[in-house]
């Protein structure tokens, strides 16, 4: 699968900035809460690995929504989580 690197790099900047803003001593704890390692998150940030669906949800949750599933999977988020593509209904 080809990755649109312009979009991917831009979206990963969000994760990179968020992760860099976490004190070094807390990065391993953040990664553990996401069910991964800080090294794996760095691989995602630099485009060497792709975040799986569960990891995307965990990062969105643990970042308080600062980094979203859409940011982490810009090419296919709408296929994995179609409910995110549906407009919000009034009164819901």
Question: Can you give the CATH number for the domain in which 35 is found?
Answer: 1.10.260
Residue 86 resides in a domain = no
| Residue 88 within a domain | no
Can you give the residue range of the structural domain that contains 38? 5-81
CB 42 within 8 A of CB 34: no
Q: Percentage of the chain with pLDDT > 90?
A: 76
Total domains in the fold of the chain: 1
**What pLDDT, on the 0 to 100 scale, is given for residue 61?**
98
pTM: 0.81
Residue 17, pLDDT > 60, answer yes
Residue 87 lies in a domain: no
Q: Give 76's DSSP letter.
A: T
Q: Residue 14 pLDDT > 80, yes or no?
A: yes
Residue 50 falls inside a structural domain? yes
Return d(Cα 92, Cα 29) in angstroms, integer: 35
Q: Specify the higher pLDDT residue, 86 or 60.
A: 60
* Domain contains 89: no
Quick check: is 91 in a domain?
no
């Amino acid at each position: 699968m080809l990755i649109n690197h312009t979009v991917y790099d831009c979206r990963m900047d969000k994760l990179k900035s968020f992760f860099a803003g976490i004190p070094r001593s807390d990065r391993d704890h953040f990664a553990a809460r996401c069910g991964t390692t800080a090294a794996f998150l760095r691989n995602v940030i630099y485009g060497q690995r792709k975040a799986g669906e569960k990891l995307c949800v965990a990062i969105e949750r643990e970042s308080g929504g600062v980094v979203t599933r859409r940011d982490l999977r810009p090419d296919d988020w709408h296929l994995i989580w179609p409910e995110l593509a549906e407009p919000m209904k009034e009164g819901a």
